């Protein structure tokens, strides 16, 4: 059998898995791998400015394709920079392989320059994390890592010392037997009957649908019709649940709609489909609950579940549907739909541009983006208020996609995720909704967009603050502290970097600015100066929040910051 270096075996196996790019920053401990990539057709090295951005970009690629994506970091700081992005990939359940280079193998344990122990560091954010300490491990460890990432929909980490990557071992042809396999998991008939009996007995069923409904849209609609059930979606389920869905009544949770909240709280039965929605306070704890999830560990950890079904959502609903009675009483559904129409109108009324105003309501920015973006646009959004506006104002039709750090909740994800999305689909429109704080945190990736000539459109919601953190402080009754940002003119900064920059603050200028951004063939920064004092209210207000906000206003006035209260009133009450 022919012998090859560990680097050759790795690249052979990546190509067999369909990998076409590796995101990272080069370094001497990666030289064996990067040199092998350089020599090959069909795979390329994507040079980012920070390995964290490379991990986010790989995660976006994996999210969009469902296939394996790869990122890499050199020894020590190079691969520890991957950590935050990999946490996001792992918690978002996307298949990513991370190559964590290591110091020379003979030096491990000697506190050598840049020594870390990645097999320990990455264990919590991976499904597989192993050190290749001898070249004879390479074939099996690489194949196991790839198959683990694909089957468990998470991160696999291969720790490879720089010297080991150059060593040779016997190299059979790569084998990834599960690469294109598809399996369906369906619960036992007795368990399906128990779920059907519960749902048939109750009169007000509401469905809570998440990302597990990605391939179950038809079955979801059929189930909602049979049960006369409104469908509330979790944020990660929005792109899959919302399209062409007459039963959808919006989101619930901190970013949601009143209609979604009340549809859940008014139910006497809850059917949870492919969702690990984390906020117990937004779920009806007294309703009888059926939960369907591919991962049994998810069942019952957010609400008290009476019947749990471990299975694929689509296949399980197909088996459950013949057992359901068609409910003729549609009162619960019709009430939820009417509440949704009213909530939707209330939100749309806030997304306006006022003549003569010198700053923008962020809702208006999001609404116009939704109206002018392509039918198959890919959106990314930063954590915080950009996620709120994306959740409330972007509409999804089955072609559009939405990516964010919805489980890990990291700042600075939108721009690098947009990079990965644009490289994956170079012919599609990719728009990042970025916060000013998030954009600044990984601002160096603007240079990556320029260097790679990726036509990503970055819309910065520039309110000179960490806006969502300020809202949390006000709700808790404390004065905001440490949240103010002294921002540059981001459009001018972009122009200095060789990227088209557009700055807009007046509502009358916004439609043309967005049109110009979308028409430009290269990357663009749209610096949208939005109102800092804009409030985003959750669907239900608890007494503690009312008390906290009242306490905040009192403290603000007594500390001489009453102008903040006036600005809040102007931005939110007098509209």
159 catalytic? Reply is no
249 catalytic? Reply is no
Nearest to 456 by CA among 378, 552, 510: 378
- The active-site residue out of 439, 461, 468, 549 is 468
Report residue 271 as tokens: 């059917």
Residue 258: Cβ within 10 Å count: 20
In angstroms, rounded to a whole number, what is the distance separating the alpha carbons of residues 244 and 217? 9
- The active-site residue out of 383, 456, 459, 504 is 383
**Eight-class DSSP state of 465:** B
Query: What backbone phi and psi angles, to 5 degrees, belong to 289?
Result: -125, 135
Nearest to 208 by CA among 265, 286, 246: 265
Report yes or no: 535 and 471 within 8 Å, Cβ to Cβ: yes
549 catalytic? Reply is no
In angstroms, rounded to a whole number, what is the distance separating the alpha carbons of residues 546 and 533? 17
Q: Provide the pairing of β-strand 128-131 with 457-462.
A: unpaired
Q: What is the dihedral of CA 372, 210, 235, 427, to 10 degrees?
A: -40
Report yes or no: 144 and 10 within 8 Å, Cβ to Cβ: no
Report residue 198 as tokens: 């519960």
Q: Provide the pairing of β-strand 288-293 with 269-273.
A: parallel
Report yes or no: 116 and 76 within 8 Å, Cβ to Cβ: yes
- The active-site residue out of 51, 52, 61, 167 is 51
56 catalytic? Reply is no
Angle between helices 362-372 and 385-393 in degrees, nearest 10: 50
In angstroms, rounded to a whole number, what is the distance separating the alpha carbons of residues 392 and 370? 10
- The active-site residue out of 113, 297, 345, 574 is 113
Looking at 55-131, which runs of residues are DSSP E strands?
69-73, 96-102, 128-131
Report yes or no: 428 and 374 within 8 Å, Cβ to Cβ: yes
Contacts of range 464-470, beta carbons closer than 8 Å, 24 or more positions apart:
464/436, 464/532, 465/436, 465/437, 465/532, 466/384, 466/435, 466/437, 467/384, 467/385, 467/435, 467/532, 467/534, 468/383, 468/384, 468/385, 468/388, 468/536, 469/384, 470/532
Residue 498: Cβ within 10 Å count: 13
Nearest to 84 by CA among 51, 49, 118: 51
Using left for φ > 0, alpha for ψ between -120 and 50, and beta otherwise, residue 253 falls in left
Residue 105: Cβ within 10 Å count: 17
Report yes or no: 528 and 386 within 8 Å, Cβ to Cβ: no
In angstroms, rounded to a whole number, what is the distance separating the alpha carbons of residues 127 and 52? 19
Q: How far lies 116's CA from each of 89, 108, 110, 484, in Å?
A: 22, 9, 11, 36
Give catalytic residue positions: 51, 113-114, 383, 468
């Amino acid at each position: 059998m022919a012998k090859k270096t560990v680097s050759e075996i790795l690249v052979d196996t990546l190509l067999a898995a369909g990998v076409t790019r590796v995101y990272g920053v080069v370094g001497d401990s990666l030289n064996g791998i990067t040199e092998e990539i350089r020599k090959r057709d069909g795979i390329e090295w994507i040079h980012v400015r920070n390995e964290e951005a490379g991990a986010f970009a790989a995660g976006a690629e994996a999210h969009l394709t469902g296939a394996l994506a790869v990122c890499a970091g050199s020894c020590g700081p190079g691969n520890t920079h991957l950590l935050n992005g990999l946490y996001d990939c792992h918690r978002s359940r996307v298949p990513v392989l991370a190559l964590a280079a290591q110091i020379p193998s003979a030096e491990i344990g000697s506190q050598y320059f840049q020594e870390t122990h990645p097999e320990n560091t990455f264990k919590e954010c991976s499904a597989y994390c192993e050190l290749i300490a001898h070249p004879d491990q390479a074939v099996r460890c690489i194949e196991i890592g790839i198959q683990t990432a694909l089957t468990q929909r998470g991160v696999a980490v291969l720790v490879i010392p720089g010297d080991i990557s150059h060593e040779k071992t016997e190299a059979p042809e790569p084998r990834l037997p599960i690469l294109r396999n598809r399996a369906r998991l369906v619960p036992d008939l007795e368990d399906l009957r128990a779920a059907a009996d519960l749902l048939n007995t109750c009169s007000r069923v509401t469905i809570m649908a998440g990302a597990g409904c990605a391939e179950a849209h038809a079955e979801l609609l059929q189930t909602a019709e049979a049960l006369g059930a409104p469908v509330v979606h979790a944020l990660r389920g929005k792109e899959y649940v919302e399209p062409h869905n007459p039963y959808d009544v919006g989101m619930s949770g901190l970013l949601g709609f009143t209609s979604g909240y009340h549809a859940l709280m008014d139910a006497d039965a809850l059917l949870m489909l492919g969702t690990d929605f984390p906020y117990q306070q937004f779920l009806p704890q007294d309703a009888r609950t059926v939960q369907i999830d591919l991962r049994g560990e998810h069942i019952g950890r957010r609400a008290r579940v009476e019947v749990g079904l471990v299975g694929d959502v689509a296949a399980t609903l197909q088996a459950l549907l013949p057992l359901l009675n068609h409910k003729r009483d549609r009162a619960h559904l019709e009430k939820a739909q009417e509440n949704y129409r009213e909530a939707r109108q209330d939100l749309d009324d806030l997304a306006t541009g006022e003549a003569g105003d010198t700053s923008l309501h962020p809702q208006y920015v999001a609404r116009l983006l939704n109206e002018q973006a392509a039918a198959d646009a890919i959106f990314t959004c930063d954590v915080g208020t950009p996620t709120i506006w994306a959740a409330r104002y972007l509409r999804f039709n089955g072609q559009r996609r939405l990516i964010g750090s919805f489980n890990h909740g990291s700042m600075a994800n939108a721009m690098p995720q947009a990079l990965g999305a644009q490289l994956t689909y170079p012919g599609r429109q990719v728009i990042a909704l970025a916060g000013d704080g998030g954009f600044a945190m990984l601002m160096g990736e603007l240079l990556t967009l320029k260097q790679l000539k990726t036509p990503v459109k970055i819309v910065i919601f520039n309110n000179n603050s960490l806006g969502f953190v300020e809202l949390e402080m006000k709700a808790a009754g404390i004065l905001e502290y440490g949240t103010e940002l002294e921002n540059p003119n981001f459009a001018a900064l972009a122009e200095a970097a060789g990227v088209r920059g557009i700055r807009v603050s007046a509502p009358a200028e916004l439609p043309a600015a967005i049109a110009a951004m979308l028409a430009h063939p290269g990357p663009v920064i749209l610096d949208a100066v939005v109102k800092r004092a804009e409030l985003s209210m959750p669907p239900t207000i608890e007494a503690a929040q009312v008390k906290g906000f009242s306490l905040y206003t009192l403290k603000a006035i007594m500390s001489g910051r009453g102008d903040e209260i006036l600005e809040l009133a102007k931005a939110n009450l007098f509209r």
